[in-house]
Structure 1
Amino acid sequence: MRFLISGCLLLLCITGIAQPHTFTLKGKIGSLEAPAKLYLRYSINKTPHIDSVTLKRGVFQFTGKTDDPVPASLLLSRNGKPIQWPYDELMFYIDAGTLLINSRDSIKNAIVAGSTVNEEFRQYNRLMASIQSGESPYQTLKHEAAAVNRKFVIEHPASLISLTAIRFMSNDADTLPVFDSLLVLFNGLDKQLQAGKKGQELYASLQKKRRLLPGMTAPDFLQPDSTGKPFSLSSLRGRYVLLDFWASWCKPCRAANKELVKLYAKYQGKNFTMLGVSVDTKRDAWLKAVSDDQLPWLQLCDLQKDNAAAILYQIYGVPTTYLLDPSGTIIARNIHGKALEEMLAQLPLM
């Protein structure tokens, strides 16, 4: 399992002219009394907001301001203590005006009334839930999910949930033809939705993701090595390169390092190398991990909260790898373990 850099709701919102509007969330969850608490989490302009209320006879109310509909979640703590897994959680959209949220028992079963976007979101979730089966192979579920997403977008061209659906599909689109079909789907959306801030953000994201597909030239970047000397990815042209994004605090990364060390030793001296890019922000922790794991290949890190190379390569979780050919063309993305070994064995590594 890949270690997520940060947790986030995979939802989008559309914005027109940014004018703050008051929202009110009110409702009732059974007849719960103190110490039961309800927590509200959402983000506006990348600024997280967390609020809470203690329930009285199940009743609660939140108020605030938002520019547009924004994704949010309500989490119920029956004992009033900090939220712990498994969560009793409702995901929905905060919207201007008043939303009514009611349930007889738990927040996850609550119904949200008073908002078109939440009605569309409920329809979307109902469709996606119909295909969730642990008995089906992953690829089958993947294709079924893509079909449901595509159908929803075609039937709801003006819904901001369609932006969410396209983004979800883009995460699994691993060939140029499949990806380009998503651009066609985007172009079929309502023109106002396309032109809105979030529509344009999605379009820009799609363009960036397209440049990272197999067959495309890997974007070049410059980052300092452990001595502070700048190093460019393009300077490795002429060799096959495994570009590895990782972090000292990522346990799956550290486990993968052991296997990468073996592969590096096996192909050392051939036209193959590795380049590590750490998303660490603490120099000592980064260099200690390099030393402890005995990583002999070049390591880069800009020590910034948002690593520039990671942003360029749309890295949302580590470890993430890219395999490049001598011309700098991407051969594969996120290839690990046995699959990586088998691919390297087939390459002309002289």
Structure 2
Amino acid sequence: MKKIAFIALLSTLLFSCSKVKDGEFILEGEAKGIANGKKVVLHKQDDSLGMIPIDTTSVKDGKFTFKGKVKEPFMHLIQIEGINVETFYTILETGEIKMVIDKDSIQKTRISGTYNNDEMQSFTDKRNEFQATIKEFEYKNQSKLAIAQNENDQKTIKQLQADYAVLQKKLKDYVVKYIEGNPKSYISTLLIGSLFAEFEPDLQLIEKYYNGLDESLKNNTEGKKILKKLKEFKKVDVGKRAPDFSAKSPEGKVISLKETLGKVTIIDFWASWCAPCRQENPNVVALYNEFHAKGLNIIGVSLDEDATKWTEAIAKDGLTWTHVSNLKKWKDPIAVQYGINSIPKTFVLNSFGVVVAKDLSGKELRAKIEELLAAK
């Protein structure tokens, strides 16, 4: 009995040592070299308003403190009066957070004390190592590159570019490895979210990373943002780049949208069993015959299930452009990707693969094609 009582007492003492309860945080900062009275402002990112101040304190005896409540981990920023650095990052979450800032050595700022802040510091340290290596390479080779460019020394230029690409890939590989290996880290959600900023985001890869996250992060604000963006990017609309796809032609050759792009391209979703599609086909045939030589390409995506009926319809209607199909009717992955729930359905793309019009047929489609090709 005495042993049990002692263990219970010890557990109580250990628990009581914490300064915070669940849903609360204390951020204790050490401000080395920063004068008393200097203002310290805590900011939170708002999607509509940008950075908004949520609390203010002052440095006293080289220290500052913020206390409050949190519902979930969320990135915040700290600004200190008199320091020529815009912000210091911290993730507010339940627990005791420690921050050390040295006015004379800003790069040595440290954040710790809770799981996500420890993870952020560890990730930042490793990322900084890769970035330092890249900067060192740039510094050591800038003169060599300048000379090679001046002398049109393509061999040296290509070698330097290749070496630089290797260093960048190491950093990218580290980020990927971190995401895959840390499904419970808030940092992973920020890294996944940053992938949307690429010129052509790899939506399948982003979705894979999102699906690998812990459920707690999927339900976090950042996790919900990722899911929302995935849905937005997947929606094929005017002004957005048409997602690439590939499928087999009637001859069994795998053909992609990317390789069929012309000055203007029509993606035509149809099927042999679709009466309105077949009625529209003569108009599309006339359009193609008139404008193909001027840069119009068409790729037909059939929602057929029967390959024979598909190929017979192509021949009977005289559809001489590129055709592909997965022969899965409404479950065709391209149709799912493009959100197709009725046919005929058309998307008109410019030479860059960006959707400039959709759902056009007959005279309206002809007028749009004439307009786009005339502008070339």
Which structure carries more relative contact order (alpha carbon 8 Å, separation 6+)? Answer: 1
Q: Which has the higher helix share?
A: 2
